Chains A and B, each alone.
Chain A
Amino acid sequence: MGSAVLTPPKAKPPEDSTPPPGKGNDGPGGSGGSGGPGGSGRGGRRHPPNWSLPPGAYRIAIWMGIVSISMLFAALTSAMLVRAEIATDWVHGAIPSILYFNTLVLILSSLTLEFSRRSLRKEAEKGFTGWLYATTALGIIFIAGQLLAWRQLAAHGIYVTTNPSSSFFYVLTAAHGVHLLGGVLALFYLVFRSRKIFGTPQKRIAVDVTAIYWHFMDVLWIYILILLKVKL
């Protein structure tokens, strides 16, 4: 048997074989897991002491979803840059001005969602539901505005197939719109379950997760807007 066998480091047994409850059960502090996802302990417990679903799971899941969606748009971006670079048929176009209005609406919706969360923290139910309604309404207005932008382009005779630049315009806005629609559905869920969510602290994670996603949609849209402004 080789003498230099690298064995996995032993877990430091919890003191006295009766593990202390609550904190301090993160195992050896020295091992740290710094190379990997050891930093996962953000905010939440790393080792839930009981069987209930870990509240951190939804938060991790939504961030992972965001990573994946970012990769999707990174791929579309690189496709656009490459396609524009090699193209001899690329016609630069202006973006419909209604998009700026839509952007404003979306930023506003992020603000109202934050107001809603603040009301929730202050245990003010009226404010919570009121701002939630406002956010949902703004989300719907944004989608309507995007559709209007498409109609405006179509009215000028610019369709998906007109030019590679318009193709990318439609594909990027549609891909963002579909993801945002998912956010609107989540908002609908919050609106319809607002009573229950307000009454049960454990359910409030749904608001946090929706907010993370919604703000990401906001940031993603601003990124797309800049990309379109620069490259289209």
Chain B
Amino acid sequence: MGEVQRGPEQRKRFVGKYIFSVDHKVIGRQFYFLALFAALVAMLLSWVMRLHLGWPNVQLPLLSTLSPAGAPGGVLTPEYYLSLLTIHGTLMIFFVLTVAPQAGFGNFLLPLQLGAREMALPRLNMLSFWTTFAALGVLLSTFFISDGPPITGWTAYAPLSAAGSITGPGEGMGQSLWILAIALFCLGAVLGSVNFIATTLGSRARGMTLHCLPLTCWAWFLTAVMILLSFAVLLAACLLLMMDRVGGTSFFLPAGMVISGDLIHRGGGAPLLWQHLFWFFGHPEVYITILPAMGIISHILSCFSRKPAFGYQSMIYSMMAIGFLSFMVWGHHMFVSGMNPYTGFAFAVLTMAIAVPSAVTIFDWLGTMWGGKLRFTTSMLFAIGFVSVFVTGGLSGLFLAQPPLDVYLHDTYFVIAHLHMIMGLAGTFAIFAGTYFWFPKMFGRMMSELLGKMHFWLTFIGAYAIFMPMHFLGFEGNPRRYAALTDNFLKPLIPMHRFITIAALITGAAQLLFVSNFFWSMFRGEKAPDNPWEGTSLEWTVSSPPPPENFSGGTPVIYHGPYEYGVPGSEKDYVMQNSPEKIAGG
């Protein structure tokens, strides 16, 4: 790195230690902060959109400074509303939900939980972070070009995304930058997963067999495999889309297309081809965001229930089954695309089949808690909250999986409710649970439990207040991506939108509670002991935060499975993985 070479010694050390570091613990925290920043920006955008939906004429003076054309006088234009929702979705799905549970917690914890000194390929790891960082920079730069961010949403459907600036604001430079950002993100994600797989397979401590891995490690590993298989496809799709935009090809542009009265002289392309390629990535992506979350939740529930994770193996096989099936169901996003009904039927059956392993995981979580000595820490509350929103979001998925229902509900608020419940909320609840759980290890200090519990209850109730009513909006036929509700059949829905907006503002404000708790605790929190939650996995055997070499006492040796809680006849009620102690009846 250019900046590392020169400058005073001190600066060099700072840069090497905190900026261009190859230490997995630094990189994990870097990913975490990147996700936190992206989440805050995306949340602000959602506030603006919610305000506009509730009160379409509301003036937000700051907005006209950001984009005089997009918000003249501070009132959003419909196009700029679409720009905001594109960036909201892209930030949340890629830079928050994909980054935080996998690259953030995963990088920090995987070597610690495996008993390794480092990730297998530390420099590749650094490259992965800086590629992702560049991707975020490119994406956000769309706000500061005259064109503005693209208006195609996070799915960037062709031909709107492929035909260039004639199709609307943001479709010139903005869309090209979006594609570049996503291509860079794909690259960073793939590099990171290669590292995750190499580390899991090659860097485990002695005795850490695949059946002694904490479920978190299993989840990170399986997710890495899925990223490897799916993000490459998105990269190929981005390449072709970019060629359509700047190379003059017509992969996705159909013949005889008329835009704004002009006949576009290209032809023969297949807009649906983009949808196939995109959703072949896009559906596994849903599980890429949720599998690490499932691992984190299993880990935390077991710790705070003081019981072994119920159905450890069934959890692993369920995650494998979910990962496998996720590559065969992309068509359920395209039921209304004129697909052959038989094909639709096949996709529907496979989609509903995912409910089986998903239900197994839910039973496993409930089984873990059943009869346990529950400790209701903030982290545990968020873990239970995760199970709640996961069930709610999963159930609405069963509705959408059926073509006849989907024809009606497609592109309505029902879909928004479903995806936010299952992906957005479940994902963020897991991130919160993980943060409250591992914050002591990551930063060496404890977070405030009081503020944490306030944060949980406000978020939990607020989240349901926001997204439950959206199901009903969907039943009423309220289409998604509409900037204003001007049609007669939509006008009666405005009061419900206002309710949602108020709930969103309050819930959003509750997140500031989290952020202030986070940063206050980082510097002023109570010093954390090595093992504040009495956990069993290896990260709790080292100091908080861990020393640079992770295990200063030498290689840990593993004697026990990851979830030896509530062990009868043991001095404490748990046995650490590296404890040589023999378990009665073990």
Q: Mark A47-79, 1 if CB is under 8 A from B, else 0.
A: 111110110111011001101111111111011
Given the complex of chains A and B, what is the CA–CA distance between A87 and B231 in angstroms?
Answer: 27
A93 sits at the interface (CB 8 A):
no
- Check A167/B194 contact, CB under 8 A, given A8-B312, A40-B202, A54-B203: no
B528 partner residues in chain A, CB cutoff 8 A = none
Tell me which residues from 101 to 120 in chain A have a Cβ below 8 Å from any Cβ of chain B: none
A40 partner residues in chain B, CB cutoff 8 A = 201-202
Given the complex of chains A and B, what is the CA–CA distance between A86 and B243 in angstroms?
Answer: 19
B559 partner residues in chain A, CB cutoff 8 A = 11, 13-14, 17
Q: Is the CB of A6 within 8 A of B314?
A: yes
Return the chain A residue nearest B204 by Cβ.
Answer: A47
Given the complex of chains A and B, what is the CA–CA distance between A71 and B559 in angstroms?
Answer: 39
Q: Is the CB of A9 within 8 A of B211?
A: yes
A66 CB → nearest B CB, Å: 10
Q: Is the CB of A79 within 8 A of B210?
A: no
Stretch at the interface among B1-9, B137-145, B267-275, B376-384: B267-275
Stretch at the interface among B96-104, B113-121, B412-420, B442-450: B113-121
Q: Is the CB of A37 within 8 A of B221?
A: yes
Which of A17, A26, A61 is the most central at the interface, judged by chain B CB atoms within 10 Å of its CB? A61
**Which one of A1, A44, A70, A89 contacts B202 once the chains associate, using CB atoms below 8 Å?**
A44
Tell me which residues from 174 to 228 in chain B have a Cβ below 8 Å from any Cβ of chain A: 190, 193-195, 197-212, 221, 228
Given the complex of chains A and B, what is the CA–CA distance between A19 and B207 in angstroms?
Answer: 9
B239 partner residues in chain A, CB cutoff 8 A = 76, 171, 175
A193 CB → nearest B CB, Å: 16
Given the complex of chains A and B, what is the CA–CA distance between A65 and B311 in angstroms?
Answer: 33
User: Which bracket fits the contact residues of A?
Assistant: 35 or more
Q: Is the CB of B560 within 8 A of A10?
A: yes
B211 partner residues in chain A, CB cutoff 8 A = 8-9, 11, 27-28, 31, 33
A215 sits at the interface (CB 8 A):
no
A88 partner residues in chain B, CB cutoff 8 A = 255, 268
Which of B197, B255, B549, B560 is the most central at the interface, judged by chain A CB atoms within 10 Å of its CB? B197
Q: Is the CB of A35 within 8 A of B121?
A: no
Given the complex of chains A and B, what is the CA–CA distance between A222 and B66 in angstroms?
Answer: 52
Q: Is the CB of B233 within 8 A of A72?
A: yes
Q: Is the CB of A167 within 8 A of B251?
A: yes
Tell me which residues from 13 to 49 in chain A have a Cβ below 8 Å from any Cβ of chain B: 13-14, 17, 19, 25-28, 31, 33, 35-38, 40, 44, 46-49
- Check A58/B121 contact, CB under 8 A, given A27-B212, A72-B236: yes
Given the complex of chains A and B, what is the CA–CA distance between A28 and B212 in angstroms?
Answer: 10
Q: Is the CB of A83 within 8 A of B370?
A: no
- Check A27/B209 contact, CB under 8 A, given A35-B320, A47-B204: yes
Q: Is the CB of B250 within 8 A of A164?
A: yes
Given the complex of chains A and B, what is the CA–CA distance between A71 and B276 in angstroms?
Answer: 14
B317 sits at the interface (CB 8 A):
yes
Given the complex of chains A and B, what is the CA–CA distance between A6 and B203 in angstroms?
Answer: 27
Q: Is the CB of B210 within 8 A of A164?
A: no
**Which one of B121, B206, B270 contacts A82 once the chains associate, using CB atoms below 8 Å?**
B270
A25 partner residues in chain B, CB cutoff 8 A = 206-207
B280 sits at the interface (CB 8 A):
yes
Given the complex of chains A and B, what is the CA–CA distance between A39 and B421 in angstroms?
Answer: 37
Stretch at the interface among B48-56, B289-297, B490-498, B578-586: B578-586
A5 sits at the interface (CB 8 A):
yes
- Check A69/B232 contact, CB under 8 A, given A10-B561, A40-B202: yes
- Check A56/B202 contact, CB under 8 A, given A2-B371, A79-B251: yes
B188 CB → nearest A CB, Å: 12
Return the chain A residue nearest B243 by Cβ.
Answer: A171
Given the complex of chains A and B, what is the CA–CA distance between A90 and B249 in angstroms?
Answer: 13
Q: Is the CB of B557 within 8 A of A6?
A: no
Tell me which residues from 227 to 252 in chain B have a Cβ below 8 Å from any Cβ of chain A: 228-233, 235-237, 239-240, 243, 247-251
B367 sits at the interface (CB 8 A):
yes
B35 sits at the interface (CB 8 A):
no
B228 partner residues in chain A, CB cutoff 8 A = 64, 67-68, 71
**Which one of B203, B236, B270, B311 contacts A86 once the chains associate, using CB atoms below 8 Å?**
B270
A33 partner residues in chain B, CB cutoff 8 A = 209-211
**Which one of B247, B273, B310 contacts A161 once the chains associate, using CB atoms below 8 Å?**
B247
B585 CB → nearest A CB, Å: 10
A202 sits at the interface (CB 8 A):
no
B291 CB → nearest A CB, Å: 14
Q: Is the CB of A65 within 8 A of B313?
A: no
B283 sits at the interface (CB 8 A):
no
Q: Is the CB of B202 within 8 A of A48?
A: yes
Q: Is the CB of B270 within 8 A of A60?
A: no
Which of B203, B237, B562 is the most central at the interface, judged by chain A CB atoms within 10 Å of its CB? B203
Q: Is the CB of A50 within 8 A of B233?
A: no
* 18 residue pairs bridging A and B, Cβ less than 8 Å apart: A5-B310, A6-B310, A9-B211, A9-B313, A13-B582, A35-B320, A36-B316, A46-B202, A46-B204, A51-B555, A58-B198, A64-B194, A65-B194, A75-B233, A79-B277, A86-B268, A171-B239, A171-B243
6 tightest A-B CB contacts, nearest first: A27-B209, A57-B120, A75-B236, A8-B561, A33-B210, A71-B232
Given A57-B202, A71-B228, A75-B277, 17 other A-B contacts at CB below 8 A? A7-B312, A7-B561, A8-B562, A11-B209, A14-B557, A17-B580, A25-B207, A27-B209, A46-B204, A61-B124, A61-B195, A68-B231, A75-B232, A82-B273, A88-B268, A160-B247, A175-B239
